Amino acid sequence: MKKSILISLVMHIVVVLFFVGINFIYPKKIEVPPRVILDVAIITDKGIKAKKADIKKQKKQKIKAVKKNIKHKKIVKKKTVKKKIIKKTKLKLNAQKKIKSKTIKQTKNKTISKKVLKDLKPKKTVVSDSNTKKNTFTKKKESKIINKVKYSPNKSKITQDLNQKITKDDLLILRNQIKQCWKVPAGITNASNLITKVKVELIPTGKVINAEIYQTSISLSNHFMKAMSESALRAILSDLCNPLKLPKEKYKQWKNIIITFDPKQMLN
């Protein structure tokens, strides 16, 4: 009798220990929030990577020229983060799928739980959603995402334009602008062969941050040459020529410009 009582006691203890211990061994179950149906939920490996890169490029343009080393480090870090996020999202999506498999089949859309979105948010992943207002996100978080979504299509354009070359029209506008800023010194009316090349460094707004004489056709000890080259520098640094009218999306191509000032045509 005693034996059976002991066995039953031990068994009870084992059962109690099992249920208590299992909580320590296994993590708590995911609390599944109410279902949110998202129209478009592209959380593919490629999509995230592309959008991430786009955001970074736009930021770069805003902050002038960002050093590439730093950028690369960030990319590496973010890539590792992305991988973790993707794993997590996959796991959690699977969990969701199990629970809400019926609704998923009906809508044929991918769903993302609040928890998943909360996890994604601080790690700056992009979730495009037309029904974001319906979500329970805070307003700040919402606006952040919307902004990201808004920027993303432009960025893809910018990346395309960066590869485009500056057109003849772009150069014509630029030439006309500089022409108006250049006050040709009186001395050159009778002096030919006074050509000055000016090296100009610009920031994305089109403002000249540095201009220096790169080359002159004759020595700067010549009074005419000196006056000529200085007039060229004055032109490029004048208020009328700052900022220069250049297509901002093609900044990479006009970051540095060499401008040749040749008054020969004026002599004729």
Partner 1 sequence: MKKLYLSIITLCSLIFNISHSETLEISITEGEVRKTNIAISEFYSSNDKTADIIKKINVVMNNNLMSSGLFQTFDKQAFMQKPNEMRFRPKFADWRPLNIEILVTGKVILVDDKFKIEMYVWDIIRQKQILSKRYMISGNSWRRLSHLMSDDIYTRVTGETGYFDSRILFVSEQRKNNHRIKKIAIMDLDGANIKYITNGRYIALTPRFSPDREHIAYMSYKKGIPSIYLHNIRNGQVKFLGKFKNMTYAPRFSPDGKKLIFSYAVSGRSNIWVMNIISGKFTQITNNTYIDTSPAYSPDGKNIVFTSNRNGSPQIYSMELSSGKVKRLTIGDGSYTTPVVSPRGDLIAFTKQSNGKFYIGVMNVDGTGERLISNSFLDEGPSFSPNGRTLIFFRNDIELGKTKLMTIDITGYNLREIKTPYGASDPNWSSLNKR
Query: Which of 171, 209, 218, 220: binder of partner 1 (CB under 8 A)?
Result: 171
Q: How far is the CB of 63 from partner 1 (least distance, A)?
A: 18
- Select from 33-41, 103-111, 119-127, 173-181 the region that touches partner 1 (CB under 8 A): 173-181
CB neighbourhood size of 129 (10 A): 21
In one-letter notation, the amino acid at residue 159 is: T
User: Is residue 191 a contact residue for partner 1 (CB under 8 A)?
Assistant: yes
Residues 224-253 that bind partner 1 (CB under 8 A): 224-228, 230-231, 233-235, 237-239, 252-253
Among 30, 81, 142, 187, binds partner 1 (CB under 8 A): 187
Rounded to a whole number of angstroms, the minimum distance from the CB of residue 159 to partner 1 is 15
Q: Which of 82, 188, 204, 216 binds partner 1 (CB under 8 A)?
A: 188
- In the block, which residue shows the tokens 């629970």? 99
With a CB cutoff of 8 Å and minimum separation 6, the contacts of 246 are 166, 170, 174, 202, 206, 254
Distance CA 242, CA 240 (A): 6
CB 247 within 8 A of CB 205: no
Query: Cα–Cα distance between 96 and 91 in angstroms, integer?
Result: 9
What DSSP element (H or E) covers 172?
helix 168-181
Contact between 166 and partner 1 per CB under 8 A: yes
Task: Mark out the alpha helices in 38-67 (DSSP H runs).
Answer: 45-62
Q: Which of residues 124-163 bind partner 1 (CB under 8 A)?
A: none
Residues that bind partner 1 (CB under 8 A): 68-69, 72, 76, 166, 171, 174-175, 178-191, 222-228, 230-231, 233-235, 237-239, 252-254, 256-266
